[in-house]
Structure formats: structure tokens, C-alpha cells
Structure 1
Amino acid sequence: MVAVIHTSSRFRAVMQYNEKKLEQGHAECISAINYPKDADALSFDQKLNRIQRQLALNKRTKVNTVHVSLNFDPSEKLSKEQLTEISKAYLKGIGFEKQPALVYEHRDAGHPHVHIVTTNIKADGSRISLHNLGKNQSEKTRKEIEIDFGLVKAQDRKAQEFNLKPVSIKAEYGKSETKKAIANVLDKVLNEYKFTTMGELNAALNHYNVAADIGSEGSRIRKNNGILYRVLDKDGNRIGVPIKASDFHFKPTHRNLKVRFLYNEMNPNRTKDSLRVKNSIDFTLYRKQNVSLPRLINILQKDGIDTVIRKNEEGKLYGITYLDHRTKCVFNGSALGKQYSAKGITERCIEDPFSLQQQKSQKMGLDVGQVAGAGNVYHVGNGSSLENDKSLDSLLSPVKDGEYTPHQLKKPKRKKQKGFSIGF
């Protein structure tokens, strides 16, 4: 079993992501822990209000939402009851057993997994520390659950589902069945990388010799919002028979990808992750007058950042995308700012002498140039049960502004100091 923890301040966005999966038939809410009603008897607003009332107890804590995914080996067939018990055991192990939590079983990937949505704000308004939660409590609990429930151990599993580091799973036409090869790449990229556009998605897929084709302007594919997935050869050319998105059981369709784009765009860590890419570029180019684009690409590669460039038939750079394998984030250059766009980078880098000589000898265009290159986590505390609630139903009603703020958390009012004057 592999546990991946994300924390944020966007509880509603996390809820909408899981509920959207439910509406599409790709997920089911199988348990509502520390809720006054069973999961199947709760409306969306009731699920939302229960935890929002607890968030209102502490408005000083910004990071108040915990989103955990528990991932199991593809060979394991686990019932809803087993998944619920495993989720409860996990929450207890990390100190969240008394926190309200919703458990969603997702069916949009090639392996069984559940998403747990909860909060680190306790019933008394205090917060559970999230520092090193994944490294300490989560890792210890994961190993205990593997033994108690007889699960496949993550450290013994060599399959790529449990390898969260970049590995070579490139699709090679003729060496493996096309659909299976593409499915392996999609499973890794869609579940690990954070992209917000089709261009950013393709930058990650191209790294593993796969492309998502949405068709040209006016084509039937584009009109029907379809997607064809293709294998690429070593030169980036499309080969083999394309596979429709709807042919994969986890449905990586245009509509479903839009939900993923939105979710990734709202990720609170995206701004921080973008700073790593920008700082790496700025540090390389700072006060240096001799850095060409190929040299910049090579230096970024050593820092775990792939640079995907796009050139027209005349060889002029018109697009650039950065693929950060450490944070698993993908950024279009213009999204980072003008100085990181294709034009900005061209102005900041010197002309490559070899490239100039090559352009003179032969006129060539490059569609995509790539260079090879190389979570978040957190913590514990004690919660509180529903014992002291005067009305269980009140937990499912909307929270009002200013309601349920513990006295000890309210800021004391400052007393006005009386002034005095001196008369003559």
C-alpha cells in the first residue's frame, strides 16, 4: 500500500473534485466517518457543512484540509467494507480517528485506491500539527496496515504503480502491445504529474513516447472533443494505430481531463513549485553572458527539469514548456511570466554557434526537442467525537459567519487608552 498526503486551504475544491468523480460514475462515497448519518444518506451540502463547521472553529490556521489517497496493488480485490476498515485504521494510526472524514473509492485508474477527505482542525478549535506526518506517522501506519490486512508490501513491489520516482516506462512500438504500453504511461502521468493544459500534459506524455492528439482545426476529432493517444518514435514521429480515449477503462477523455486541469490549477503548492523552476532558470542566467539555449537545457536537466521546445519550419522557437520531475509539475513558459516564455528565453540566451552553422548547412524544423532528466506530507493529534454535540443534525447545516468560535481563540479587544492634555 502507498499513502500519498496532500494538504491545502481549499476544502471545497477538494470536495468538488471527489464529488465530480462520483457524478461521472468513476467514484463512490463509501464511508462518512464521525458523521451523524451514513454516507449514502448524505447530500453534497451535508457532507460539506459537517467539516466546514469544524473549519470555522479556527480561522487562523490556513492549511486546514487533508486529502489522502491510499493506493493498493492491482492484484488486490478489496471490498467496500475492507477499504472502509483500512481507511479507519489509517486515520487512527496518524491521529485522526476522531476527525470527521469522507472516504471515496475511485475507479479511474488501473489499481484500487481510495481518497480520504478530512481536516486537521479539532472539535475544540485547536489544530493537529502536519509537520512530517507522511514521514513519521503515515509511514509507520502504512507498514502496520500491510501486515494486519495482509496487503502487498510497497517496498517489495517492483511494479511502476509503487515507484514514485521517475522511471523509464517509455512506450516502444513493436516491443509491447500498443494499448497496454500507452495505458501504463497514462496511469503514471495522470496520477503523478500536475498539468493544467493539453500542451503541458503532452509535454509529460512525450517524455514517455506518447502523445495526446486532439485533431487539427475543423477535424472531426476536434469537433467532437475527442482524443486519440499515439505512440511516438525516438524522433517524435507518430507511429502505430491510435487508441481512442474512451477505449481505456479509466476514460482519459477530454471532459475528464478538464476536471484534472482545474484541480491541478487550484493546487496551493503550484505557485511554490513554479518558484523552483523560475529560480533555477534565473540562477543559471544571472549575470552570465555566455549561456546558450542548449546549455541552459543541459543545466536544468541536471536539476531535474526537462525543457520541451517547439520550433516552426524556419527553426524559430515559438513555444517552451518545463517539466519538473522533482515536484512533478509541468509549466508552460508563458504561464511563469514573459521572461520565461519562448521569446523571453530567446532574448536572455545567446545564439548557439553550432545551431547557426547547422541552419546554414540545412534548413530544418523541430517540432519537439527534449532532454532526459529526472508530495507532501504530514501529521497527528487527537480529535473529538460527536458526543458533546447537542444536535447531530446541526452538524450538517450551513455554518454562519462568526459562529462556533471558541472563546479562547477570540482576539481580546484592545482597550482604548485615554489621552490627556496639559493646559497652560
Structure 2
Amino acid sequence: MIAKIIYGETCTGTLNYIFGKEGMRILGYGNTFSQSISPRFFGNVLHFQGQRNATKNRYAHISLNLPHGEHLDNRTFYRISKEYMENMGFGEQPYVVVRHNDTKHEHVHIVTTIVKEDGKVLPIFNSHKRSMATRQYLEKKYGLSQAPTTKQKSQLPIYRLPEKQFGMDAEKGTKFYLQDVLNSINQKYKVRSFEELARLIKPYHIEIRQIKSESGRIGVAYGLNNQKGYQTRFINGSAVHRGLSGPKLQKVFDAHSKSKLLPMHRKRLLKQIETTYDLFHTIDPHGLEDILKEYQGIDIKLDKKGDAIEGYTVFDKSRYVFRTRELGKNVRMQNRLDIFGNGDEPTTIDIESKQFKLEIQKMIKEALITSYLQSPKQQGLLSEHILKTNFGNIVPSLTASKKHYFLERYIPKSQKTEFRKALENAFPMVRDRLYEIETKKEKEILENKFKLIGKVLKKGMFDVGIEKGSVRLLFQSLGVKYHNNQLSFANSNKHTVPVPLGRLPFPEHMEKYVSSGFVRQNHLMLEMLSEQSSQKSPKLTATAMFLPMVFPKLYEKMNPVYKKQYESVALGSYVKNVERMHAPFEKSPKDYIALFNAKGFYFIKGDKGFEVKSVYTDNRTSCPLPNRTSQYLSSTPDLTEALKEQQPVINGLVNDGRNNLENLWAGNLMERGMYDKVAFMLTAKKVYPNLHREMVQHHMDNGLRKTLQGAITRKSSIQQNRVLRRGIYAISSLSGDRGKKQEEVFNGFKDELTDWSKYKREGISF
């Protein structure tokens, strides 16, 4: 199901459209004194309530669309619409649900107002994100097909044409259709002229007529051709929408045309396309779309006149649209007949070209790095790995790469052997050059670590003085070690920096492997606390929250002043990074609070807005939320009660001993789809994830249950099976209420992984 929301200042045209459609059916009204009122009466009610506030986005037009072939009866579609409105916060507003049957896919239109009876405005913060979560919730509840979550091609879908008749006026759907298409085009592309706009809207059967008055004022009118060869009368742009008038559009076009970034985008595209041409010996014009998309990530559309290809239009990621004549003479097909003028010859790569040799070198470089990163045990530095790697070692990484697949597809069969030889011949030179680059980079990194350690010790961030011998904790957290008055990387002795500290005891357990990701996050965190970081530095991720779990002895010795700074920054980074994980489940501000509560985070309201705290940090530590998020949470109905409801959840986690970062880490692994590691933590370490039951249920359905099934199958002893079953029970307790009754049901399991339905009433919701 696809849900779409449009906010506007008026509702008359929208109501005329949805009520004027032939074959329309009113499924019901929401929050009106009767279901027997007329459309005109409802329009008056909605109009007068919306006019009680001067906000521009007074009215909301929502459409719920099913995919082709999916059917719902009127009663079910109305029930889904009601639930959608309730979850979106419109449940107490007057609204109408109208079903149309003018397209192949079934859909309803809902019109309402965000202005309440008292003249105040409903908060519509994050409404599109909430709509996504509500849509996914309803899809699952009613067994509907899921809407695609991946981005589609840059070309807009062809909108449905309203049913038109000769002489139709704007009130019968034409105006609404024009608004829909024109607004979508102007949002998707940075249009620079009326001529360009005319080309972009031509597939939607819309024509533009420009009018210039005696005073020089530019006007514009839009006409619509229907399927029967008739044409609607031209409608003035300002009558279609205030933002679609000639002067308003001209202002926008001028701003886009004068942008300082425009020449940069044009130059980049020109280089990318010329590079593509340099790689090929011949190109079949019909295959250019796929080649540019796969090789350079450029979206184009061929300009055809009949069967002849006249050129192509580029739909750039910058939202600008370019024709080939704007980019340069060298990229026009007519000027490159050496590539495009070879009749029916297939597309082939020129293996003698300079660009091909460069691609070979890039591919080998990527394979060398990939083979290092994917090795089960990364022994030594990248430079050391490069030095001892031969061509045969990287062949699996080479053949698995997308670039290899792309090149091999367009190399003639007779030249496959030469392709392999070219790779082998280029390998020594690429390896030696990459070795030099990485060696220089590693030396700089080690020196930077040395300088950072000095600054951390000088500022006294940690109580790890040399005399106590615990400075080794700081070394380990930064991925370095100390030996014989020299500092080197923890996994290599290749590079050293002299550091005369004397003899320091290093227990064997300090040499254990620490993930490079955690070392990197710790380095970034210490740089920030020591004020060495810059705006160009990589940003902290949610992983920063778990540094005390990975380096417990070091963070136990952290200076309280810096610890408070760290906890505040880590809280902010975690919340910012994890919000996107919650998006599919967050239907309201209450959900926002509940999803974080389940993870051990809670919110307090202060004079300057909301702050977030956690059970994993000092109670005095907090992080302010952005102003927009504070406004979003403030829109929660019965906010005081909602904040009070946090306490039992947070207290429950603390009382159960789940105020440990390992519990949060288990939930983080589950969200990232690392189900094997989650199963290990549940069974071997008996660590249960802190995660909302709805999210737990989602991951159980998404593969976690299957992973646990596989784990049980692999185990042979009765004792190991019992441990795994307890882990599964722990998961079930997260997705339902816990209690004695539930434990009794668990003890009676006979087939825990095949039939969950008989236990649902007892509180286990798998």
C-alpha cells in the first residue's frame, strides 16, 4: 500500500475533484454528527473549521493506494482508513473517505483539516515518517502488499489522467491533475526554463502556453490533452496554483540558472561521459542507458524520434536536467560516429585504451584492500598484507567485484585471455605503488596517535599515570602498544615512534584483539574531547555509546569532568544514529518515547526543551534534543501522563539487571541483522536485548527465528538444546507480558519452533 499526503491552503478544488469523479463512492465520514450528510454540507463544515487558523497548510489530502490486482471490500478499506487517521493524529478531526475506481489500482481519498475546533493547529511534525510507520503497521495487520522501500529511477511515474470529456473545466479534475504533476516535477528537478519544463511534462499530456503582456510580464497557461484527442481549455497558471504562475516560476528558474554549483555539475558530468567514451571501442546507442548507469551511476533517457535516436537527456543526481548539447560537442552522438556509427556492431571495450588500463589498476587496488578486510584474521597492517600478497590471492576478490563483471561483459570472447594477462601484468606495479602509499599513511596515523596520547595525558582525561602502569589501557584503546621505549601498532612492529617511558608491565590479556571499528570510534571521541577534531573529521556513530563496554578499565578511570562530556556526546550520537532504525515503527510521538524507553533511554522536559538520559550513564548526564524534536514530543496528547509512563519501563530494566551496555549491544546487533551473534549472546552469555517488543517481533519474523532453529539443529546434547530453548523463551518474553503463567506454558512446550499459535493467548506472541 502506498500512502501520500499533500497539505494545502484550500480544500474546495480537492473536494470538487474527489466528489465529482464518476463512479465515486463515499465510504464514510469521520467525527460528524451523522453519516447521512451531503458532500456540500461536509465541505462547508471543513471549510469553516479550517478557516479558524491562518496557517497555510490548513487542509490535508491523503490517498491510500493498493497495488494492481489487490482488492479490499468497502468496509475493510474504510476500517483501514479510520485506523490510518487515528494513528496519524487526525482521529478526532472531521474527515471524509471517498473511493475511486478510475484506475487499475484500488484507492481512496481522505480529506481533513489540521485545524481543531478551538482554532489551534494539530502538530504535523514528522508526518511523512509517521505515515511510513503507520502504512507498514497496517500492511502487516491486514496482510497487504508492502510498498517498495528502495528508490526508484529518477524518471517520474506517469500519473493517471482524469476521465475527461470535451469542454471539461478545471473543477472536474483537470486542475488537481495539473497541480499534482507540475508540483512533483518542480520538486524533483531544478528546472531552468519554460522550454525545459515543457519537455519534462510532455509525457503527462500537458502543454504550456506562454503569454507576455505589454508591460513585459510573463504569464503561463496549461492545457491537457486527453486520450480521445480532445483538449481542455488552457488554464491560467495562477488559477492552477499560486506557485505555478509565470512570474513565480520565472523567479525559480532564474535562481536555478544562476547557481554557482551549476558549472561544477556540468563539468563533472562532461568528464564522466567522456571517460565512458574513452573506455569503449564501439557502443550500441540503445545500450547507452545501461552503460552509463552501471559504470558512472548516471541516469539518462534517449531522445527518440520514431526509430531514430537524436541524443539523450541526463537526469543528474544534483536534480539538474541536461541535454547533451549543453555539456559539450564531444559527448554528442552525432560527433562521435567513431563509437556510435558502427551499424549493428555490439558494444565492445577497447582493451588498448588508456582508460581500460586505469580501470585495471583501480580494480587490482580495490581487490588488494578487499582481500585484507575480508580475511578471517587480519594479521599485520594493510601494507604488510599487500607486500606478501600475490596475484592468485586476490583472484577471488577480483572476479567477485562489480567492476570485473562490467568489464568482462563487454570484452569480446577472443580477448578474454588478454584481459587476464593485462590484470597479471599490471599487478606488480599497482601492488608496489599501493604499498608505498599505505606505508606513508600508516606512519602518519601512528604519529597522530602519539600526539593524541600526549594531549590526553596532559589534560588528565584518565587517571592512568605512568607510575601506576595503567597508561597501557590508553594505548590499547587506541590500537597501539609500548615496548622497549617505542610505540607501535598493536598488531605490527613495522612502524615505531620513540617514547622513553621506561619499563611498563603489560599483562598478556591486554594483547587481546579489539575491533578496529571501536578503536576508530575511541580515537574520534578522544580527539573531540581534546579539541583536535575539525568539521571535516568523521562523525561519531552509535558505536561511541559502547566504548565503556569495550574498554571498561580505561573508562572507569576517566576524569568525572570529561566523563560527563563523553556521556553527553555519546547520548546525542546514539539518538541521532538510531532514529532511522525506529522510523518503520514510529507512528506517533508516543511511539518515539516508547521505542527509546525499551532501550533504556528516557526523556525529561526542561525550560529549554527536552533532554534525553539513559540507565547506562550517570543520572546527572543528559543531552538536549534538537528544537524540532522537542516540538514533536511536546505535541504528544496527555504529555504529562506519557512522561510518567516511562518510569515503570525504566525501573523494570534496572530491577531486572538489564541496565548494562551488553543488553543494549544485543539489541543493536538485532537491529543490524546480525542474528548469529544475537543467538550466541542469548544462549552462551545469557544477555537479553533491550528492544521494544514490536521490533523484536519484526526481527523474529525477519530471520531470527530461523537462525535459532538452525542453532538448535546444530546442537547435539540435551543440555545444549535446553540452553538454546531458554534463549528462545527469553526472546518470547520480550514480545509479550512476563509472569508465572507464561513460565508454566514454557515448561509445557513440546514443539517450540513449529506451533506458536496455541500459546498466543498465554502471552507469548511469536
Please report the TM-score for the alignment, with normalisation by the length of structure 1.
0.48
Q: Choose between structure 1 and 2 for higher RCO, CA contacts under 8 A separated by at least 6 residues.
A: 1
Structure with the bigger percentage of helix: 2
Q: Which has the larger radius of gyration?
A: 2
